[in-house]
Amino acid sequence: MENVNMDELIPKLITGTYEEFCKNIVVFLKVYDKRTRFEELDSTCLREKLWNRLFYYLTDYVHIDQHHHCLAALRILSRDKTNLDDLITDDAIKIILQNAGLTKICEGEQISCTIVTIESLKLLCNLLFNSVKVQRLKVLISSLPYLIDRIKSYTDDVPHDVKLFDMRVLFLLTALNTSTRDIVKTDLCGDVYLIKIIEEFAAHNQNNETRVIKAEEITIVCEVLKVLFNLYIHSDNIGVEDQEKYKNLVLILYKLLTFKYSVQQDDLESHVVNLLTVIPYSCYAPIVQAAKGNDCKDVYQNMDMSAICVLLRFLDKKLECKTHLIENFSPIITALVRLVKSERIIRKYVRLQILPPLKDVMHRPEEGTTLRAKLCKLLTSPITELRDLVAELLFVLCKENVARMVKYTGYGNAAGMFAAKGLLGGRGQAETAYSSESEDSETEEYQKYKEQINPVIGCFEEPKPNPFEGMTEEQKEYEALKLVNLVDKLTREGVVRPCRIGADGKPEPVEHVLELQNELPRQQYVRKDSDSE
């Protein structure tokens, strides 16, 4: 390789004889295998000439032995977006689809095991990822029936890489061209065949627990889950006829979560969580099954909560992440919010795990390593999307009761959510969506220190000396005026903006701090009994 003249390699590929092409294409694949940019092709139309030459041999069925090399070279070149839209034509896509076995010409043929099929699918993935034009080409979209038909006909004999890149092509197309989702789901019933793949995987492994599961099997399941996410991303408004399909899917997800895998457990759980965020609210019930036998350890009210336990462990693991917070936290918290809103038994069980009856009243809610502490820390996160999601989860676990939320999180931590929902006045929302059955009673520890618990910080606080003790009335008035003048100065300079709680329960600015004095009793947080459920 050291003797390769790179300046001569590309011209030889373009203008050399067939024998020279065969020798130099192998060199090209080795030299450029890891490259993603090809600046040397930017001049004298080299890029276009090389693409044309590769397609010339790709359509030459006399020299079919070089087709896989041509496709591999095109796959490498397609990593570079430069002029990609100009290079790709309908005819070029037709040639690639034909080699991938996704055209009418290939209909009814045995699925090819050759490297040509796999290289063509890899090339399609690159083109879809890098070209908006390709994502919208009618000729590519018209290949969907052949792709779905192949997926429907999968057997154990179909090579792993064919399945893998079939799924990746389908994922990219449904992710980047949303108009294809209805075609796949409604016109072609593609989601039914995708569900069948993971259903057979789940059934196969549940019935044979001694079977060794290969990593490549889990990879295919993860790819299927990714495509289903794209297809179901806006699926809350479904007809009665679709409910059984979604409930069956949730039952399969339950099986995927509760089976122990030796490989790629985290990846599988992550994709299951993502899919749970787009399941319709009315279809979550099968995630909790009736407890059977003595093997089930996570039982609550005679129901198997194993899948919910897996999700809570997944949450705990994600809460340890220090980077990419939205990507790590948002899916699992969203999934839990939807689950606890949809099923009462899930809400009650999750609340026991996250907000058990209070025994530790000596530490702030955000202190410690419990799930409650980790979530309460996020209530004051500067990332508003994350903060609001966590607040929503905790608020639903508290049956959307302000006083109970204050008890478990502290008023200071929850104030942002109360302000957003118009609940700063301490008024709870109507609780018609929740039962009136009690789920909690005060612990002895909480009863003992209840009167000394500061609702703002959410824990016991030693009585503090009165700063006005020993002062005359004149001294008190002087200190009060100093404070008023200081706040007024900060207000005029725009440093702070004093607010009062409006009729809608949300903060509204005041013109002068003295306006607060007139409504002081109404503005103060009134502590209510927070324990009756």
Place 42 in a pLDDT band, splitting at 50, 70 and 90: confident
Burial class (CB in 10 A: 0-12, 13-18, 19+), 459: buried
Helices (H), 59-102: 67-77, 84-87, 90-99
Most confident stretch, 181-190, 419-428, 455-464, 512-521: 181-190
Cβ atoms of residues 336 and 314 within 8 Å: no
- How much of the chain, in percent, has pLDDT values that exceed 70? 88
Q: Which of 460, 468, 502 is nearest to 359 (CA)?
A: 460
pLDDT for position 261: 82
Please determine, for residue 62, whether its predicted confidence score (pLDDT) is greater than 90.
no
What digits encode the pLDDT tens for the residues 238-297?
888 889 999 999 999 999 999 888 788 999 999 999 999 999 999 999 999 998 876 778
The residues near 180 (Cβ < 8 Å, ≥ 6 apart) are 141, 144, 173, 174
**And the tokens for 270?**
């992550």
Place 447 in a pLDDT band, splitting at 50, 70 and 90: confident
The residues near 254 (Cβ < 8 Å, ≥ 6 apart) are 286, 287, 288, 289, 307
3-state secondary structure of 270: helix
Q: Count Cβ atoms below 10 Å from residue 528 Cβ, excluding itself.
A: 17
3-state secondary structure of 407: helix
Mean pLDDT of 424-442: 57
3-state secondary structure of 530: coil
3-state secondary structure of 496: coil
pLDDT for position 208: 65
Please determine, for residue 530, whether its predicted confidence score (pLDDT) is greater than 50.
no
Average the pLDDT over each of 205-219, 253-267, 396-410, 476-490 and give the range with the smallest value.
205-219
Identify the H or E element spanning 131: none
**Cα Rg for the chain, rounded, in angstroms?**
31
Please determine, for residue 442, whether its predicted confidence score (pLDDT) is greater than 90.
no
* Residues forming beta bridges with residue 509, ordered by sequence position: 499
pLDDT for position 438: 54
Residue 507 phi, psi (nearest 5)? -70, 140
User: Tell me, what DSSP letter sits at residue 134?
Assistant: H
Mean pLDDT of 99-120: 80
Q: Position of tokens 């030796």?
A: 262
Q: Count Cβ atoms below 10 Å from residue 162 Cβ, excluding itself.
A: 20
Place 34 in a pLDDT band, splitting at 50, 70 and 90: very high
Please determine, for residue 413, whether its predicted confidence score (pLDDT) is greater than 50.
yes
3-state secondary structure of 387: helix
**And the tokens for 234?**
């806006």
d(C-alpha 10, C-alpha 32), whole Å: 11
What digits encode the pLDDT tens for the residues 491-514?
788 777 777 777 777 777 777 656
pLDDT for position 432: 45
Report the C-alpha dihedral over residues 176, 179, 182, 185, rounded to 10 degrees. Answer: -30
pLDDT for position 532: 41
Q: Report in angstroms the alpha-carbon separations of 100 from 56, 239, 291, 425.
A: 17, 36, 47, 64
Q: Count Cβ atoms below 10 Å from residue 290 Cβ, excluding itself.
A: 9
Q: Which of 400, 318, 406, 395 is nearest to 358 (CA)?
A: 406
Cβ atoms of residues 226 and 273 within 8 Å: no
d(C-alpha 518, C-alpha 96), whole Å: 77
The amino acid occupying position 421 is K
Cβ atoms of residues 160 and 140 within 8 Å: no
Q: Which of 370, 355, 447, 350 is nearest to 404 (CA)?
A: 355
d(C-alpha 50, C-alpha 38), whole Å: 12
pLDDT for position 431: 47
pLDDT for position 1: 45
- Better-scored residue on pLDDT, 526 or 135: 135
Average the pLDDT over each of 24-33, 129-138, 364-373, 519-528 and give the range with the smallest value.
519-528
Q: Which of 392, 238, 420, 403 is nearest to 330 (CA)?
A: 392
Give me the half-sphere count of Cα atoms (radius 13 Å) on the Cβ side of residue 462: 2
Please determine, for residue 305, whether its predicted confidence score (pLDDT) is greater than 90.
yes
Per the prediction, the chain carries an average pLDDT of: 87
- Better-scored residue on pLDDT, 527 or 353: 353
**And the tokens for 350?**
């999750």
